[in-house]
Structure 1
């Protein structure tokens, strides 16, 4: 009798993990507050917002594709100088992990980085989110927008 209860509990636990685990993996945002943020397409136009410290601006340009994937150039204009300033790529349309992109300072509050977004073989219309961080601390309170872009898939062109 005890063995039957243990096996039934184990099977029920596995079913629960399977159902909720799949839902967790398919929800790449960081919580309900993310859904309320206005979306800004970085490839459409620069994204700008004002904070108490001053004007922020983020832009993204396609540099090219040399066989390893589409290369992008991210430029951030910041009124403050974050310590260890990084942009973190996160899959918005599908969870694919987190990819830190270090930003290097060019003076006058300008920071930039070149990167290749990871290739998604399952979805040719992969949407990536760019989150700004100072070291390990998210700058979410300074960024009132959801910064996103749709990656160019060199395999489908």
Structure 2
């Protein structure tokens, strides 16, 4: 009897993993609706009911871990706990939170190095803005960049 319950539980668990697993690993599902904005080519800007947003990303200099980037975000209203989260756009490589530091009342900056990808320079990263654990929903763009080695 116990053996049958264990087997049935394992089968149900395997079916659930097959059905729901890809949804958890799919990092492009919510991005498909949003057009990409390449942060290394030009700043990304948009306006909300609170005011204007502007995000820029520049590569600074190669460090010991790879190319360093400086992310600058200008906001109309200061979030409580503001951070950027790096997520692989072209493949899943985990999530890397990058705390944004307030430089001026409505201006934040962060310096970071994108993790290396074994596929070479083809890795596209996406930056999602969050207020604490909550992803900001007012961003009309998929904020992306191609990592440089």
Both proteins in one fold, TM over 0.5: yes
Tell me if 1:149 matches 2:145.
Answer: yes
1:64-85 alpha-carbon deviations (Å, 9 max, x no partner): 1123111000000000100111
Is the contact made by 1:26 and 1:94 (CA closer than 8 Å) also made in structure 2?
Answer: no
Q: What's the counterpart of residue 28 of structure 1?
A: 27
Q: Which runs of 5+ in 1 are unaligned?
A: none
Displaced runs of 4 or more, over 2 A: 9-21, 23-27
The root-mean-square deviation of aligned C-alpha atoms, in Å, is 2.6
Q: Is the 8 A contact 1:25 1:95 kept in 2?
A: no
The one of 53, 56, 67 aligned to 1:59: 56
Normalising to structure 1: TM-score of the pair? 0.80
In 1, the alpha carbon distance for the partners of 2:107 and 2:61 equals 22
1:111 deviates by 0.2
C-alpha separation between the residues in 2 aligned to 1:95 and 1:57?
Answer: 26
How many residue pairs get matched?
148
Which SS does the other structure have where 1:34 is aligned? coil
Q: TM-score, normalised by structure 2?
A: 0.84
- The answer on whether the counterparts of 1:86 and 1:134 sit within 8 Å (CA) in structure 2 is yes
Partner of 1:80: 77
Q: 1:135 to 1:25 in 2, by over 3 A?
A: closer
